[in-house]
Amino acid sequence: MNYFIIDDDPAIRAMLTDIIEDGDLGSVVGEAEDGAIVDNGLLSLKKVDIVLIDLLMPRRDGIETIRALAEGFQGKFVMISQIEAKELIGEAYSLGAEYYITKPLNHLEITGILKKVNERVLLEQSIRGIQESLNLFTGRPQFSFVPSSHTTSLMEAGRSLISDLGMIGEGGSEDLLKIVVFLQKEKERLGSAYAFPSLKVIFASIAAEKLGDQTKEAEILKEMKASEQRVRRALYQALIHIASLGLTDYTNPKFEAYASTFFDFSEVRKKMLELEDKSKTPNNQSRINMKKFIQALFMEATKLIDS
């Protein structure tokens, strides 16, 4: 069973992940700090079965998020909150929430509830399988439990990777998505003559696209610099996230997959040592190879939509 956790508290997300994976209830395939940064394309790409979602979040709360996702999502929602207002709980149920978990989290309560949700999902999957088999023989059109079709775009694949890298909330993440789309357009335009462009060309192109063709050169240069700074901050957060994963568990699949793909491993190792020695002042000047990161993001996003 694949879980996606939406909660603005990283400690809650970590605790839920431990309960799910230690209890063999399934795998946590993604997480987000706010409902506003999750859409059906991301859930589809991650093949999510169950979404655990906090009721109160700063930008888009759990109720609004379920309302936005419910129509196109075939899985189950489980609400989590300290709030026990009957009206809110009732609205969550009416929109499709399956169960309600109260904070502070209780290990036994969560395990029991998620086992029930897992059983419900498996039952519905079995029913879908039976219906599809019957339709092959009867020729009748499918009328229920039909998965909605989602077109998996390069941007959605890039957003999934950015989420995995722990920088979905950073301003530079949107710049990176625009860069991925720009690189794909260049590849299609140039064909066999395509070569990875310089960072200057990349940032100039997305700045010009954002500001328009009639923008003065000075304004484009200013936006180029601002965009590059946003991306650097996002990459630094990704480096911290990956280093933290490695520090917690050196065999973490994301750490193994991403540490040397997106970064120079020596920099990841340095950051791990720095995080381990909390007495030292953090070094914000880590030498991150931006070109390598962007190339890796583009290639990995392309692989995701081709797989």
Q: Supply the CATH classification number for the domain 2-120.
A: 3.40.50.2300
User: Is the pLDDT score of 17 beyond 80?
Assistant: yes
pLDDT per position as a tens digit, 129-183: 555 555 544 444 443 433 333 334 788 889 889 999 988 878 899 999 999 999 9
31-35, 211-215, 294-298, range with greatest mean pLDDT: 294-298
103-112 long-range contacts, CB within 8 A, separation 24+ = 103/12, 105/12, 105/15, 105/16, 105/19, 105/80, 107/19, 110/16, 110/19, 111/19, 111/23, 111/25
Which tokens go with 66? 């379920």
Strands 2-6, 50-54: pairing is: parallel
CA dist 191 and 86 (Å) reads 59
- The pLDDT value recorded for residue 148 is 30
Q: What is the pTM of this model?
A: 0.59
Residue 130, pLDDT score? 54
Contacts of 266 (CB under 8 A, 6+ apart): none
For residues 285 and 183, which has the higher predicted lDDT (pLDDT)? 183
Q: Are 39 and 69 in contact (CB under 8 A)?
A: yes
Calculate mean pLDDT across residues 253-265.
91
What confidence category does residue 238 fall into, taking pLDDT thresholds of 50, 70 and 90? very high
Q: Is 80 exceeded by the pLDDT of residue 242?
A: yes
Closest of 234, 235, 265 to residue 250, by C-alpha: 265
- Contact at 8 Å (CB) between 298 and 292? no
pLDDT higher than 70, residue 213: no
How far is C-alpha 201 from the geometric centre of its chain's CA atoms? 28
Per-residue confidence (pLDDT) for residue 151, from 0 to 100: 30
Q: HSE of 4 in the Cβ direction (CA atoms, 13 Å)?
A: 29
Q: What is the mean pLDDT of the chain?
A: 83
CB 263 within 8 A of CB 292: yes
Q: Which 3-state string (H, E, C) describes the chain?
A: CEEEEECCCHHHHHHHHHHHHHCCCCEEEEEECCHHHCCHHHHHHCCCCEEEEECCCCCCCHHHHHHHHHHHCCCEEEEEECCCCHHHHHHHHHHCEEEEEECCCCHHHHHHHHHHHHHHHHHHHHHHHHHHHHHHHHCCCCCCCCCCCCCCCHHHHHHHHHHHCCCCCCCHHHHHHHHHHHHHHHHHHHHHHCCCCCHHHHHHHHHHHHHCCCCCHHHHHHHHHHHHHHHHHHHHHHHHHHHHHHHHCCCCHHHHHHHHHHCCHHHHHHHHHHHHCCCCCCCCCCCCCHHHHHHHHHHHHHHHHHC
Q: What is the pLDDT of residue 82?
A: 76
Residue 94 has pLDDT above 60, yes or no: yes
CB atoms near residue 246 (< 10 Å) = 22
Q: What is the mean pLDDT of residues 257-269?
A: 92
The residues spanned by each domain of the chain are 2-120, 154-306
Spatial separation of the C-alpha atoms in residues 165 and 243, rounded to whole Å: 10
